[in-house]
Amino acid sequence: MGEMHVPEGMVKLAHALVEDAKLRNWFYALEKRPKRVRKESFAEMAAEMRAKEEDVDLTDAVLALARPKVYETVLAAVRERVNENREDLE
């Protein structure tokens, strides 16, 4: 199986989650919410971003997070990167 293409907006979003503790804590907290609530939250956020004509790639990335598998994959990747960064500092 070949490498999966990760859209630029998702890369930017994941990087922001790794770098910004407040944003990351919010993202982690969503894990405890029901999948339906997460889906609605991300869909609403993406709609607001579209209405404000914010970055299309980033908006698409936020909307993609409404899918549980995408959220779980990004969550795992962010946790892995944060842990790597902590180990580099030790």
25 belongs to a structural domain: yes
30 belongs to a structural domain: yes
**Overall number of domains in the chain:** 1
37 belongs to a structural domain: yes
2 belongs to a structural domain: no
Determine the pLDDT at residue 1: 46
Q: What is the pLDDT along the chain (90 residues), one digit of tens a residue?
A: 455 677 889 999 999 999 999 999 999 999 999 999 999 999 999 999 999 999 999 999 999 999 999 999 999 999 999 987 766 655
1 belongs to a structural domain: no
27 belongs to a structural domain: yes
Task: List the helix and strand counts (H, then E) for the chain.
Answer: 5, 0
Determine the pLDDT at residue 84: 79
Query: Domain residues for 48?
Result: 8-89
67 belongs to a structural domain: yes
CB 36 within 8 A of CB 90: no
Alpha carbon distance 89, 53 (integer Å): 38
Determine the pLDDT at residue 89: 58
